[in-house]
């Protein structure tokens, strides 16, 4: 058993082989590594400040039930690598996880159209910082766990800020667990969950999670940043 931090502890023995360590801003190298993961499982490490993705097609992790994972390594300045989609302006730009038993940790997804699209089952996403598109869980995704995930500053410009939530669960997904997850500064909803009734839901669990400052035009139009001389890009 290999434990990455105190919580959670996941059995990584069966796919502990490192299949690639990416050390430069090379999206082709990342795509090739994901192709290997899809065929045989294994761990991809990202050890470079940023990878600019240029392909207009999704980055797809679709290895079926073969266990695999992507883990970012902390950089000397304390930051973690960013997967940046600015150069891939397309409605398909996203990280798509349609396989099962995948483990993703310390990824920062930025400036993609759909952010992270989770359609597989029994996956664990931990310490994922998504910025600009949100998390979508759909297409019969079952038993996925999100630990310490952050979704913020998401905005759908063509729709004037509508339809961009921090976390979006479609009715066909179930048994999703959010643990220490946070949704803030989004142009639409914080958690857009269609199957919740009253104060309980049999298919979604929220543990130690919070949301704030969503659906605030001063934030998602940039007025707040402009007034306070804050510039992120």
Task: Please report whether residue 232 resides in a domain.
Answer: no
CA 126 to chain centre: 9
Task: Please report whether residue 195 resides in a domain.
Answer: yes
Measured CA to CA in angstroms, residue 180 lies from 8, 91, 134, 148 at distances of 12, 29, 16, 5
Q: Read off the pLDDT of each residue in 48-74 and give the average, rounded to a whole number.
A: 88
- Host domain of residue 119: 19-227
How is 70-86 classified by DSSP, letter by letter? Answer: EEEPPPTTS---EEE-T
Task: Please report whether residue 9 resides in a domain.
Answer: no
Residue 78 has pLDDT above 60, yes or no: yes
Higher pLDDT, 147 or 58: 147
Task: Please report whether residue 4 resides in a domain.
Answer: no
- Window from 112-121, 131-140, 213-222 with minimum mean pLDDT: 213-222
The whole-number pLDDT of residue 11 equals: 47
- Window from 74-78, 132-136, 156-160 with minimum mean pLDDT: 156-160
Q: Read off the pLDDT of each residue in 59-69 and give the average, rounded to a whole number.
A: 82
What residues contact residue 103 under an 8 Å CB cut-off, 6+ apart? Answer: 10, 12, 67, 68, 69, 70, 71, 123, 124, 126
Closest to 82 (Cα-Cα) out of 111, 106, 112, 51: 51
Q: Read off the pLDDT of each residue in 59-86 and give the average, rounded to a whole number.
A: 88
Q: Read off the pLDDT of each residue in 217-222 and give the average, rounded to a whole number.
A: 65
Number of domains in the chain: 1
Say if CB 58 and CB 94 are below 8 A apart.
Answer: yes
Beta bridge partners of residue 95, listed in sequence order: 59, 116
How confident is the model over 158-197, as pLDDT tens digits?
554 455 677 888 878 888 999 999 988 777 665 877 655 5
Measure the CA–CA gap between 157 and 153, rounded to whole angstroms: 12
Task: Please report whether residue 221 resides in a domain.
Answer: yes
How confident is the model over 193-211, as pLDDT tens digits?
765 555 555 578 889 998 8
The model scores a pTM over 0.75: yes
The whole-number pLDDT of residue 7 equals: 38
Task: Please report whether residue 122 resides in a domain.
Answer: yes
Task: Please report whether residue 5 resides in a domain.
Answer: no
The whole-number pLDDT of residue 104 equals: 93
Residue 154 has pLDDT above 80, yes or no: no
Say if residue 8 is preceded by a cis peptide, omega within 30 of 0.
yes
Mean of per-residue pLDDT scores for the chain: 80
The whole-number pLDDT of residue 145 equals: 95
Task: Please report whether residue 177 resides in a domain.
Answer: yes
CATH value at residue 30: 2.160.20.10
Measured CA to CA in angstroms, residue 75 lies from 5, 21, 99, 221 at distances of 17, 14, 28, 32
């Amino acid at each position: 058993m290999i434990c990455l931090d105190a919580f959670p502890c996941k059995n990584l023995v069966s796919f502990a082989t490192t299949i690639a360590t990416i050390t430069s801003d090379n999206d082709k190298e990342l795509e090739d590594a994901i192709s290997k993961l899809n065929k045989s499982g294994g761990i991809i490490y990202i050890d470079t400040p940023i990878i600019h993705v240029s392909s207009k097609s999704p980055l797809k992790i679709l290895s079926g039930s073969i266990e695999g994972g992507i883990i970012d390594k902390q950089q000397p300045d304390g930051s973690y690598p960013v997967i940046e989609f600015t150069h891939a302006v397309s409605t398909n730009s996203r990280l798509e996880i349609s396989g099962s038993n995948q483990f993703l940790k310390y990824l920062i997804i930025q400036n993609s159209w759909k952010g992270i699209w989770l359609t597989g089952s029994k996956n664990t996403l931990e310490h994922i910082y998504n910025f600009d598109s949100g998390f979508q869980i759909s297409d019969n995704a079952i038993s996925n766990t999100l630990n310490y995930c952050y979704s913020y500053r998401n905005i759908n410009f063509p729709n004037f800020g509508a339809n961009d939530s921090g976390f979006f669960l479609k009715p066909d997904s179930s048994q999703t667990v959010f643990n220490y997850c946070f949704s803030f500064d989004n142009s639409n909803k914080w958690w857009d969950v269609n199957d919740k009734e009253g104060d309980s839901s049999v298919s979604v669990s929220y543990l130690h999670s919070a949301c704030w400052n969503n659906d605030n035009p001063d934030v998602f139009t940039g007025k707040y940043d402009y007034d306070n001389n804050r510039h992120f890009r």
